[in-house]
A and B are shown apart, each in its own frame.
Chain A
Amino acid sequence: MVLVFVPYLAAAVFVAAVVIRWVKIARLPVHLRWELYPVAHERNSAYGGSFFERLDWWKHHPPTSRMGELKVMVPEMLLLTGVHEHDRALWFRSYPFHLGLYLLAGFIGLLLAGAIAQTFGARIEAGWLPTTTTVVGVAGLVLLAAGSLGLLLRRLASPALRAHSAAADFANLIFFFTAAVLGLVTFATVDRDFASLRLFVRALVTFQPAGEMPALVAIEIVVVSALAAYIPLTHMSHFFTKWFMYHDVRWNDEVNQVGSKLEAAIGRQLGHKVDWSAPHIRGDGKKTWVDVATERVSDSGLRPVELDAGDGKNPPRVLSQKEIGKP
């Protein structure tokens, strides 16, 4: 019975870790633009062109193409086109690894679908579902085992990769490899058609005791659950943080327009207190970014300027000499 709780616990950790990390990143402040071309939603992304190429670009609404983003993102996710283009040797190891994970995610989905169908009385034994589940599961396990082993050997063989790796970088790959091999051994020895696993998934769906099952299947369930819970706690959370890296940074060319929400956010951030200590800043925790950006660095004639707080009530203006006082 205890075993039934393990996947639930793992799923809870997985979801919590993803949500916490997602919220943490999403709540980070608007940053300065730092895009990198080609930007996929630009009209001229084929050669890396931007709206800046147009005369008086601010008079035209920047053209954006969600389809352009999909054209880049979908092959990137499904085929790892970036690695294929820039590091073919890595792709031959990384792609089987990732494809294996995709197939195993599909495998779990098929197991769940089968279990739910059975719960509602459907007889799936003679249909396509068990065979498809088996093919997808075995293919996923083989690819994951091959990919993780390939990545591990590459990391061990290359002095540079080895030097840059922390212990966890090796341990993570061993973890994946172990889970995949364990799954294959379980399949080959005690669970040839994943029937035991399907029964277990049915127990999960119905909240019933799983009953007796081979020890290897139970171990596999624990190992895979632990792996699933572990992934989003590490840098491997890139499976969803990549969205931020592309949309918030690499492709983020949103123009700051007067009166926009973006401008209001910038205005608020310009009001943050600074405590950088270098002599040319001397942030004392009281000065704001506006103060720093507009203070007189010397008697060079720099005049402070009053910036909008972002609410549009106080438009920026250069202060007069009278307001500033004599240097």
Chain B
Amino acid sequence: MTTAVPFANVGRPSERLGTLEEKHRIPLPPPYDKDEEPPLPQLSAQVRAACECSLDDTVAVSLPRPASPEAEEALVKSFLAGLDKLFSEANNWTFLEPLVLSIEHCAKCQTCAEACHIFVESGRNELYRPTFRSEILRRLYFKHKSGGSLVSRFQHGDIDINWTTIARLLELAYRCNLCRRCAQTCPIGVDNGLLAHEIRKLFSMELGIAPKEIHEKGSLLQLRVGSSTGMSPAAVKDNIDFIDQDMSEKTGIPVKTRWDVAGADVLLMHNAGEILAWPENPGAFALILDAAGISWTLSSELVGYDAINYGLWYDDAQFARVAVKHAQIARKLGVKKLVIGECGHAHKSMMVIADRVLTGELNIPRESSMTLLDDIVASGKLKLDPTRNDFPVTLHDPCNVVRLMGVVEPQRRILRQIAPRFREMTPHGVDNYCCGGGSGFAIMSGHNFADWRMRVASRRKFRQILEAFADDLDPKHPKYVCAPCSNCKGAIRDILKRYRAWERVGIHYGGLAELIVNAMADVKPGFINFSEL
């Protein structure tokens, strides 16, 4: 454990408030236990001079430093105005009750700390303790609200209200995956994940400050051009055509995706990142739904071909805009239900959070692809040969699908039927650990942030994967991590690549639909072809 950071230090300018200390970190399991980890690449002097990065060794937001004390003062004022709005019904009815309850009732017992993969895998770095950022927000709030009275300072503690504190709080909001594993352990019900989410919102909705990958190049780009990938409707159709051809060749079964079919039973929405990074996943869905005789369609309307909704992580306005757009598209097509592909945050966005945004005719039925695939597999409509998946398979539980919406068993029922060597990670289900890519981390890669993510946030997941396959780490024996979520797949791809896990221990990854297609007896054998890796 590293040294505790006094809150009095948070507002005192210094190059950094804390640093990663390798000596405190827990070694990975074999064969990585003897590896010497290279040090985290340091931010350059230019970056340190130009950006607000005085928290730790990395930077998520890359906010330019204010040019003058007056500019700092203006930002502090804006932050405090945002703080008032965060606690107002008109501006934040969306999360006011959970926010007030978590701000007012923390007993500071620290029960939550050991549940946090980032805290533990950082060598219990005090900056990443789940309560650290919450306590800064709490102290800022009570001090601002009371005008810094003696009673308030006695009851809630003190902190400097200045730009240094606020800039560090901004970065701290992006050292949390919002997996809410900490909230599960709180005896009272305090939710530090929610507080990180609310801090992000304050900065985005009042000051317009958010990591460019999730805002400018994320939700704004999606609303402007249709997808955060930048794909236009014409481009997405081209790409899917290519995927259809490739799937038909690979599987020997003709695949033809249908677009904008009015009145279809199912409007399927993929994370558009799948189309570019893992085309076999949308291809597998097309083949399965066709084989099951389901009437389905994709939408080529702007935003309709990308299920992502990054607003979930940082901005209620952006969230609502995308959710409304998705619902409008489904309603316009007159489909019976909207089914979310293998994307965790899109699941939670559309099925859970948007439930209290969409009213009247926009409140269309929305379903998880895990449930639909489970029904298809259980129905016997597909001829399945599980021996085609005769390799060890483990399942990663995306937090958004499992802990945050309770879809736990459908994907497991499928795996038990199609993967004879399926084994669970420890822990799993609602107690799972985040992949480390949650809440936008998987797509945030400015400066050395991706390096930090793999070194800290994704490390617990890699540990779990290694432990799940500990009985056979021979690289000649292929193993498969099933990750039914795009962001999780991205994070797992990166961590496996970083540790050369395919070459050293034979571990590969992919989605759930691909495993189903690989087990289909009518499909040419070898859809998942480890020899091509």
Contacts and interface: CB of A to CB of B under 8 A. Distances in A.
Interface of A: 25, 28-39, 42, 44, 47-58, 76, 80, 82-83, 85-87, 90, 94, 158-169, 171, 234-238, 241-242, 244-246, 248-250, 255-258, 262-263, 266-267, 269-270, 272-281, 283, 289, 292-294, 297-298, 300-303, 305, 307-308, 310, 312, 315-318
B111 interface: yes
Nearest to B362: A316
B493 to A, nearest CB: 27
Interface string B355-366: 111111111010
Given A31-B95, A36-B183, A294-B321, 18 more contacts: A33-B356, A49-B407, A54-B371, A83-B109, A85-B185, A86-B114, A163-B5, A164-B131, A166-B155, A241-B104, A245-B189, A274-B90, A276-B82, A292-B317, A292-B320, A293-B317, A293-B320, A302-B303
Contacts of B403: 36-37, 48
Contacts of B191: 34, 36, 249
Contacts of B194: 34
A57 B367 contact: yes
B451 interface: no
A162 B226 CA distance: 50
Nearest to B197: A34
Contact of B356 (A32, A245, A274, A303): A32
B81 interface: yes
B4 A298 contact: no
B337 A29 contact: no
A266 B406 contact: no
Contacts of B114: 86-87
Interface in B90-147: 90-91, 93-98, 100-101, 104-111, 113-115, 126, 129, 131-132, 135
B111 A258 contact: no
Given A44-B409, A250-B189, A302-B325, A53 B355 contact: no
B224 interface: yes
A249 B98 contact: yes
4 smallest CB-CB distances across A and B, nearest first, come from A50-B406, A245-B189, A48-B430, A166-B157
Nearest to A310: B359
B156 A263 contact: no
Contact of B406 (A28, A34, A42, A305): A42
B404 A36 contact: yes
A100 to B, nearest CB: 16
B184 interface: yes
A31 B94 contact: yes
Contacts of A82: 111, 185-187
A272 B331 contact: no
A50 B205 contact: no
Nearest to A285: B90
B329 to A, nearest CB: 10
B269 interface: no
Interface in B274-294: none
B148 to A, nearest CB: 14
A297 B185 contact: no
Nearest to A59: B365
Given A52-B406, A278-B208, A32 B95 contact: yes
B384 interface: no
A241 B371 CA distance: 36
Interface residues of B, number: 108
Contacts of A83: 109, 111, 187
B206 A307 contact: no
B521 interface: no
A249 B324 CA distance: 23
A55 B331 contact: no
B3 interface: yes
Contact of B408 (A48, A272, A273): A48
B142 to A, nearest CB: 9
Contact of B96 (A28, A47, A300): A28
Interface of B: 1, 3-7, 78, 81-82, 85, 89-91, 93-98, 100-101, 104-111, 113-115, 126, 129, 131-132, 135, 153-157, 180, 183-191, 194, 204-208, 215, 220, 223-226, 301-303, 317-318, 320-321, 323-325, 328, 331-332, 337, 351-353, 355-363, 365, 367-368, 371-372, 374-375, 402-410, 429-430
Contacts of B188: 238, 242, 245
A35 B109 CA distance: 22
B439 to A, nearest CB: 14
B365 A58 contact: yes
22 contacts: A30-B93, A32-B95, A36-B403, A38-B406, A52-B351, A52-B406, A82-B111, A82-B186, A87-B111, A87-B114, A160-B126, A163-B4, A163-B6, A250-B183, A256-B359, A256-B363, A263-B360, A277-B81, A293-B320, A293-B357, A312-B360, A318-B328
A321 to B, nearest CB: 13
Contacts of B4: 159-160, 162-163
B97 A36 contact: no
A245 B409 contact: no
B492 to A, nearest CB: 22
Contacts of B190: 245
Contact of A38 (B82, B89, B321, B430): B430
A64 B113 CA distance: 32
A104 B395 CA distance: 49
A164 B96 contact: no
B96 A31 contact: yes
Nearest to B194: A34
Contact of A167 (B154, B353, B407): B154
Contact of B365 (A38, A44, A56, A308): A56
B360 A315 contact: yes
A35 B85 CA distance: 24
Contacts of A245: 101, 105, 188-190
Contacts of B91: 272, 274-276, 283
Contact of A244 (B94, B96, B97, B363): B97
Residue in A28, A237, A278 with the greatest tally of chain B CB atoms within 10 Å: A278
Nearest to A81: B187
Contacts of A86: 111, 114-115, 185, 187
Contacts of B105: 235, 237-238, 241-242, 245
A235 to B, nearest CB: 5
B97 A29 contact: yes
Given A86-B114, A273-B90, A298-B224, A244 B101 contact: yes
Contacts of B408: 37, 44, 47-49, 53
Contacts of B6: 163
Contacts of A273: 90
Contact of A300 (B132, B302, B317): B302
Given A29-B96, A300-B224, A276 B206 contact: yes
Nearest to B113: A160
B361 A315 contact: yes
B146 to A, nearest CB: 13
Nearest to B379: A55
A90 B410 CA distance: 37
Contacts of B85: 275-276
Contacts of A29: 89, 93, 96-97
A249 to B, nearest CB: 5
B84 to A, nearest CB: 10
A318 B327 CA distance: 11
B229 to A, nearest CB: 15
